[in-house]
Structure 1
Amino acid sequence: MGLSCFVRITQLLDQYATNALVIQDATRRGTPRAMWIANSSAAIAALAKDRDIPVFAYSRDQVRDAFGSCPNKQWLAELVAKHIPAFEQYAPTAPRKPWMSEDRRMGLFDAATLGLLFFRSLDN
């Protein structure tokens, strides 16, 4: 992760007086992630811990289990859009074909599912 990105994340953590950081667990086996993503996640988690911000990391399997073993990310995005009306306009309209790239907006839904899972865990 570039220094400017790390500085910006530091600024965001400080600006919003963050109470918790929720990230995808990129350390588990079976989670195909580029090494730079795993390293970036670890650096961000370390930054949060240095600021006494609790870090919650959820794997893809935990997300799938929490949302009823969703068959694919398209289905999960549609489910999130039903629960968060502001996201409806960003939901991909058609499932992607195997040769197509993932819709660039799917990251929004990945983040939303992590947040929803975090808040669900608070209720238990």
Structure 2
Amino acid sequence: MLNLRLAQRWERLGNRDAELGVMLLFALLAGLFVWGAYAVAYPEHGCVRMGKGNSGPLECDPQRLFNYGVVLLSIGVLTTSPIFYILWGWMRDMARPLSLKEDQPALRQSASEPG
């Protein structure tokens, strides 16, 4: 059977709370951009107010609404790149081989003895 020693690998990763917080922040940001793209793509009454609150021009052209939605969706996808970068680093650290010094102290002692 394959012995991956996941517990030792997970211990070696250490405390990654800051990275987890950054991932959650970027996931929230990406979700907000995707929600904005959805709200622009499927307006309730056919038109969208392109401004803060009720101020701003009323946009009813489907092509322009599509373009705004694509821009918001692209930014949402772009904000997920730090999440994948962090996950790739975690996978790379988990795949790194465990050293013999950490796992087998008896071998380390026998190797250091003159003989």
Q: Give TM class, smaller chain.
A: under 0.3
Q: Which one has the largest radius of gyration?
A: 2
Normalising by structure 1, we get a TM-score of 0.22
**Higher RCO (CA 8 Å, separation ≥ 6 residues):** 2
| TM-score of the aligned structures, taking structure 2 as reference length | 0.23
